[in-house]
């Protein structure tokens, strides 16, 4: 009897362990598949600098940096602009000001009463970014100035030292989004909620960078670009992947795949062009 009891206990124990192991496996598999636990964000990692932004902030950072690229400005200009916009608006196109500037608006909290333009103009991200750069390039030697000094000469803020808090973020995202640091920008995203529109993506790219030669074939856009310009466009597409339902970006032997969430990986992407693929309709 004692032997039978021992065997029974072993069987019960074995079954319990199997059930526990199966439960753990199922739970892990569920967590891996479940998108409810995914924290969407975009990360720029350049050397020792690493910074995270929410997806809407990253899209605005990409817009600001694209304007700098389009104007032929150095990455330093973009990093100053990004640090400034983060301090002024948290990189969001907000429709209100504060006690110090009740009529402040937009990414850079520019005040119509101070000559920055109309309220409608400063709420246009392209206009406000252009206005910031117009003022920045008039500062002699701005590229060699500290971020706080350059930003303060443009903004005339009551808290100029605060710009320095965002210098590392500005440098990391500027380096990635200007294309100076290839494969430096990655966004962790859930699956697209709807189909992408290749014509809408083309229109946004041309609004950001000017006339980039390209064509659409089905769900994929092929753009002609190389060097830092190619990486600037490619990483702009990643930064805007959430709102534009982009699923894959390829450039210069690397690809970013939204579904894999593994960042940039080696691929057969051809040099001299950027491919951007959008989502099909959700079944």
Q: Is the pLDDT of residue 2 over 90?
A: no
Are residue 46 and residue 123 in the same domain, yes or no? yes
Q: Pick the closest to residue 280 from 236, 246, 231 (CA basis).
A: 246
Which positions ≥6 away from 247 have C-beta within 8 Å?
192, 196, 241, 257, 258, 259, 277, 278, 279
Instruction: For the chain, give the percent of residues with pLDDT over 70.
Output: 86
pLDDT in the model for residue 109: 94
Range of the domain at 164: 42-177
Of 177, 168, 73, 88, give the one whose Cα is nearest residue 125: 88
- 26 three-state secondary structure: helix
Tell whether 54 is covered by a domain.
yes
Domain check: are 148 and 224 in the same one? no
- In the chain the first and final C-alpha atoms are separated, in Å, by 60
Average pLDDT across the chain, whole number: 89
Q: Confidence class of residue 9 from pLDDT cuts 50, 70 and 90?
A: low
- Segments in the chain forming alpha helices (H): 2-33, 55-70, 75-89, 119-122, 125-136, 147-155, 167-177, 198-209, 227-239, 241-244
- Same domain, residue pair 199 and 149: no
Single residue among 140, 159, 177 that ends a domain in this structure: 177
What are the beta bridge partners of residue 53? Answer: 42
Whether 65 and 57 have beta carbons less than 8 Å apart is answered as: no
Cα 143 to the center of its chain, rounded Å: 24
For residues 157 and 227, membership in a common domain is answered with no
Picking from 72-81, 138-147, 210-219, which range would have the lowest pLDDT averaged per residue? 210-219
Instruction: For residue 14, name the pLDDT band (cuts at 50, 70, 90).
Output: low
With cut-offs at 50, 70 and 90, classify the pLDDT of residue 159.
confident
**Span 249-276, average pLDDT:** 97
Interatomic CA distance for residues 79 and 85, integer angstroms: 10
User: Looking at residue 38, what is its pLDDT?
Assistant: 86
Tens-digit pLDDT profile for residues 31-52 = 445 577 889 999 999 999 999 9
pLDDT at 30: 44
Q: Are residues 127 and 49 in the same domain?
A: yes
Residues 170 and 233 in one domain: no
- In this structure, the answer to whether residues 242 and 259 fall within a common structural domain is yes
| All residues at 6 or more sequence positions from 15 whose CB lies less than 8 Å from its CB, including other chains | none
CA atoms of 18 and 6, how far apart (whole Å) = 18
Q: Using pLDDT thresholds of 50, 70 and 90, give the confidence band for residue 232.
A: very high
**Furthest C-alpha separation in the chain:** 96
What sign does the CA torsion over 28, 33, 34, 39 have?
positive
Q: Is the domain of 136 the same as that of 51? A: yes
Helix/strand/coil percentages in the chain, nearest 5: 50, 15, 35
Task: Say yes or no: 135 and 214 in one domain.
Answer: no
Stated length of the chain: 283
Q: Please say if the pLDDT value at position 24 is more than 80.
A: no
Residues 261 and 231 reside in one and the same domain: yes
Grade residue 282 by pLDDT with cuts at 50, 70 and 90.
low
Q: Which residue in 139, 137, 157 sits closest to 89, CA to CA?
A: 157
Across 47-71, average pLDDT: 97
Tell me, yes or no, whether 193 and 146 share the same domain.
no
How many domains does the structure of the chain reveal? 2
Under 8 Å CB-to-CB from 188, ≥6 apart: which residues? 38, 39, 40, 41, 42, 43, 261
Write down the pLDDT at residue 184: 98
Domain end (from 177, 205, 229): 177
- pLDDT, one tens digit per residue, over 72-128 is 999 999 999 999 999 999 999 999 867 667 889 999 999 999 999 999 999 999 999
Task: Among 122, 151, 177, give the residue marking a domain's end.
Answer: 177
Mean predicted confidence (pLDDT) in 50-78:
98
pTM above 0.75, yes or no: yes
């Amino acid at each position: 009897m004692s032997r039978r009891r021992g065997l029974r206990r072993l069987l019960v124990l074995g079954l319990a362990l199997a059930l526990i192991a199966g439960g753990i496996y199922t739970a892990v598999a569920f967590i891996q598949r479940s998108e409810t636990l995914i924290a969407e964000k975009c990360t720029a990692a350049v050397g020792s600098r690493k910074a995270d932004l929410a997806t809407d902030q990253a899209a605005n950072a990409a817009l600001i940096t694209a304007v700098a690229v389009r104007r032929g400005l150095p990455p330093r200009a973009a990093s100053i602009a990004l640090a400034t916009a983060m301090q002024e608006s948290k990189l969001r196109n907000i429709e209100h000001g504060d006690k110090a500037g009740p009529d402040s608006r937009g990414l850079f909290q520019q005040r119509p009463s101070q000559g920055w333009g109309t309220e409608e103009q400063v709420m246009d991200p392209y206009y406000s970014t252009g206005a910031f750069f117009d003022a920045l390039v008039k500062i002699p030697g701005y590229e060699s100035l500290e971020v706080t000094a350059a930003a303060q000469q443009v903004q005339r803020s009551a808290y100029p030292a605060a710009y320095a808090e965002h210098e590392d973020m500005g440098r990391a995202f500027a380096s990635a989004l200007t294309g100076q640091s290839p494969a430096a920008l990655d966004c962790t995203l859930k699956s697209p909620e709807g189909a992408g529109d290749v014509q809408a993506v083309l229109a946004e790219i041309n609004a950001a960078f000017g006339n980039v030669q390209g064509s659409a074939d089905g769900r994929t856009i092929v753009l002609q670009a190389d060097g830092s310009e190619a990486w600037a466009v490619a990483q702009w597409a990643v930064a805007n992947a959430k709102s534009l339902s982009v699923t894959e970006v390829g450039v210069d032997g690397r690809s970013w795949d939204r579904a894999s969430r593994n960042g940039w990986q080696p691929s057969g992407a051809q040099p001299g062009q950027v491919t951007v693929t959008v989502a099909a309709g959700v079944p």
